[in-house]
Structure formats: C-alpha cells, structure tokens
C-alpha cells in the first residue's frame, strides 16, 4: 500500500529512537508471537539496516502497548513491524504509531510511505485505508504441495 506524506501532529505517548531497545524487541516478540530464537534472528536483521530508522514505542496509562518501525530511503518511508499487544488493540494505538512514524519521515523529507499487509488482515486494511493508503499491487505466497 502507498500514500503521499503530508505534515501531521505527532501524538503524545510515543518515543522514537534510532535503534531498537531491548524493550522494543521484547514487545514486538510478544505481540507477534515470536519464539526466542526468532526474536534473536529478527534483532540481528534489524541491526543490519543501514539507512535512518525510527523505532517507535507507544505508551498509554504508563504501560507499553505497541511498537512500529519506519525506514527512510531515497525519499520513501517504509513502514514495518506495527504491533499492538492483543488486549490493547482497537483503541487507536496503531493509528497513533502510524501518525508518529509518518511524521518522522515527513520531517526528514520523505515524500511517500509504503507498507505491505496480508489481504486477510481486515483490521489493518481498514486502518491503512483510513490513513489514506491505497493498494499499489497484490502478491501471493506460493507453497509446494
């Protein structure tokens, strides 16, 4: 999905850092259901990103409720790893994270934002539609069978 970026007000309760903290990684692992081995591998992959990054952490009522990642490259902002813990979903936390990450990219001269989402993730599709993202293309995963 793709959208043009424009200025937005960064919501409160979000901390943006240039690298993932242990807390950020643990929150992603918990929300995404990653095993310890998968979490370590994922941390290794994230540590190899060479372009500017924004690792966003969302707090509400003093609790950490979600995370997201933006990667800036050649005027494009890639959005990844948006994860909100199950008890905190449908409360606007993912939308707040997206606004913060898009704002981070906009102030760094990104013109466009893109992301990928599974077609059966209807809640995410609704959110991204509300945020002005449009489908750019479709792709399929193939399995040997």
Domains of the chain: 2-130 (3.40.630.30)
pLDDT digit string (tens) for 98-132?
A: 999 999 999 999 999 999 998 888 999 999 999 99
Query: Alpha-carbon distance 85 to 33, whole Å?
Result: 10
- pLDDT value, residue 112: 97
Burial of 45 (0-12, 13-18, 19+ CB in 10 A): exposed
| Residue 143, pLDDT above cutoff 90 | no
Check residue 4 and report its DSSP letter. Answer: E
Place of tokens 């494009």: 76
Say how many residues make up the chain.
Answer: 145
pLDDT band at 31 (very low <50, low <70, confident <90, very high): confident
Place of tokens 């990844």: 80
- pLDDT value, residue 32: 84
| Residue 51, pLDDT above cutoff 90 | yes
pLDDT digit string (tens) for 57-90?
A: 999 988 899 999 999 999 999 999 999 988 899 9
Mean of per-residue pLDDT scores for the chain: 92
Query: Alpha-carbon distance 73 to 57, whole Å?
Result: 21
Query: Alpha-carbon distance 77 to 44, whole Å?
Result: 21
- pLDDT value, residue 111: 96
- pLDDT value, residue 8: 84
Query: Alpha-carbon distance 105 to 107, whole Å?
Result: 6
| Residue 141, pLDDT above cutoff 90 | no
The residue among 48, 47, 7 whose CA lies nearest residue 24 is 47
């Amino acid at each position: 999905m793709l959208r043009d970026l424009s200025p937005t007000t960064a919501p409160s309760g979000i901390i943006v850092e240039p690298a993932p903290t242990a807390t950020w990684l643990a929150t992603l692992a918990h929300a995404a259901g990653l095993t310890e081995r998968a979490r370590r591998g994922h941390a290794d992959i994230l540590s190899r990103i060479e372009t500017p990054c924004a690792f966003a952490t969302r707090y509400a009522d003093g609790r950490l409720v979600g995370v997201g990642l933006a990667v800036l490259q050649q005027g494009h902002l890639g959005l990844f790893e948006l994860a909100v813990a199950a008890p905190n979903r449908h409360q606007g936390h993912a939308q707040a994270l997206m606004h913060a990450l898009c704002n981070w990219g906009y102030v760094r001269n990104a013109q466009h934002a893109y992301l990928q989402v599974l077609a059966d993730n209807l809640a995410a599709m609704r959110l991204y539609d509300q945020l002005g993202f449009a489908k750019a293309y479709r792709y399929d995963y193939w399995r040997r069978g």
